[in-house]
Amino acid sequence: MSKCRIWELTCPGLPEEIGRVRRWIRDVLHDSSHSDDAALIVSELGSNALLHSASGGPNGSFHVSLHRSRGTVVVAVTDAGGGTTKPHVESPDENDTHGRGLSLVTALADRVRVTGADYGRTVTVEISDEHQAPPKPSARGAA
């Protein structure tokens, strides 16, 4: 039987909230081998929400959800909409200071999905959670 745990957090659209949500992800995933990857992913996605949508405007916010089940960690960030482009992987020049975040997220993830439109986009990232307890031997398998 699969157990799924879900945590959610809505953050004001302020730059300092990126650090708070990163710490929150690390706290929740303290026993996962992917806690640092998930923290980096949520930092990138949260920063993108603030920079490229109404989330970073007056009274803006962004929403983070974390789903954890045996073998899987899913992080989703939903912005407030109003962005002019759909999140996409870019190919910046070596001297560009922006444009690498979603490429980094894609490299760390098993799957990345973008949904939504003008009224809010959600970027959902799935990574496998290798840090799970080994299965217990059954009574039949005991010698």
Residue 55 CB: number of other CB atoms within 10 A?
Answer: 28
From CA 79, how far away is CA 77, in angstroms rounded?
Answer: 7
- pLDDT, one tens digit per residue, over 90-108 is 555 566 555 556 778 888 8
In a domain, 103, yes or no: yes
Ranked by mean pLDDT, the top range of 54-68, 85-99, 126-140 is 54-68
In a domain, 118, yes or no: yes
What mean pLDDT is predicted for residues 103-131?
84
In a domain, 35, yes or no: yes
In a domain, 133, yes or no: no
In a domain, 140, yes or no: no
In a domain, 143, yes or no: no
Q: Which CATH number characterizes residue 36's domain?
A: 3.30.565.10
- Print the domain residue range for 116: 4-128
Supply the pLDDT for residue 136. 41
What mean pLDDT is predicted for residues 37-43?
95
Supply the pLDDT for residue 95. 64
Backbone angles phi, psi at 65, to 5 degrees: -125, 145
Residue 127 CB: number of other CB atoms within 10 A?
Answer: 21
- The answer to whether residues 53 and 80 touch, using CB atoms and an 8 Å cutoff, is yes
In a domain, 85, yes or no: yes
- pLDDT-derived band at 12 (thresholds 50, 70, 90) equals very high
Supply the pLDDT for residue 118. 76
Tally of structural domains, the chain = 1
From CA 32, how far away is CA 37, in angstroms rounded?
Answer: 10
Average pLDDT across the chain, whole number:
83
Residue partners of 32: CB distance under 8 A and separation at least 6: 38, 68, 73, 129, 131
What mean pLDDT is predicted for residues 128-132?
55
In a domain, 139, yes or no: no
